[in-house]
Amino acid sequence: MPQYATNPDFLQRLATLEESVEQLRRRGRERDELPFFGTNLQVMPYQSYTSMTTVCETVLSPRTASLSLGLVTIGDVVTSVNSGGDWQVVANADIVMTGVISATFSYEFAAAVIDLTPYRALTELKILIQARRTAGATTGGKFGTGGAIAIAPRYARLI
């Protein structure tokens, strides 16, 4: 029968435990990065539609409590006319994030943590990033139909 030598010294065991906890704190929580995939033929996340259109999407298995999502948006300028719009993030059929794309030719950042606990019983959860142009030029621009606003995910982490 094998015998194991144990260290009866409480202070040494406590020091080992404290070192293990410090290593975990320095390393931080592990996170899973989640890729998003473009859904349009232009490859770039620019679009000029006036109705909500899916720009990026992904399918995940909701095994964690939340999704930390960061987005970058940019408006457009066509012959001195600024174009802006609205965006939303949809989980299955539920709108979980919304925002505005300013009618300026400058980047803006949005971030939120989406609660995934209502979807934990599902085997698959579809996340959509949608945008639409609400103001600006109606002709010219990237696709000929006016200003082309842009939205893209900066990061998506399951935490």
The top-level CATH class assigned to 32-158 is mainly beta
Please tell me the predicted confidence (pLDDT) of residue 7.
60
Please tell me the predicted confidence (pLDDT) of residue 30.
55
Please tell me the predicted confidence (pLDDT) of residue 26.
65
Phi-psi region of 136 (alpha: psi -120 to 50; beta: other; left: phi over 0): left
Please tell me the predicted confidence (pLDDT) of residue 77.
80
Ordered mean pLDDT values, 10 residues apiece, the chain (159 residues): 68 86 67 80 64 90 89 85 89 94 88 93 93 78 72 90
- Cβ-contact 56, 153 below 8 angstroms: yes
Q: Which helix (H) or strand (E) covers residue 48, if one does?
A: none
Phi, psi (degrees; rounded to nearest 5) at 6: -110, 150
Torsion of CA 36, 29, 73, 130, to 10 degrees: 40
Cα gap 50→40, rounded to integer Å: 15
Query: What is the DSSP pairing of strand 37-38 with strand 125-135?
Result: unpaired
What residue ranges do the domains of the chain occupy? 32-158
CA proximity to 86, closest of 34, 28, 30, 133: 133
Please tell me the predicted confidence (pLDDT) of residue 10.
83
Q: DSSP character for 114? A: E
Please tell me the predicted confidence (pLDDT) of residue 43.
47
Q: Looking at the chain, how many residues does it have?
A: 159
Residue 35: CB atoms within 10 A of its CB come to: 9
Cα gap 90→77, rounded to integer Å: 28
Q: Is 77 helix (H, G, I), strand (E, B) or coil?
A: strand
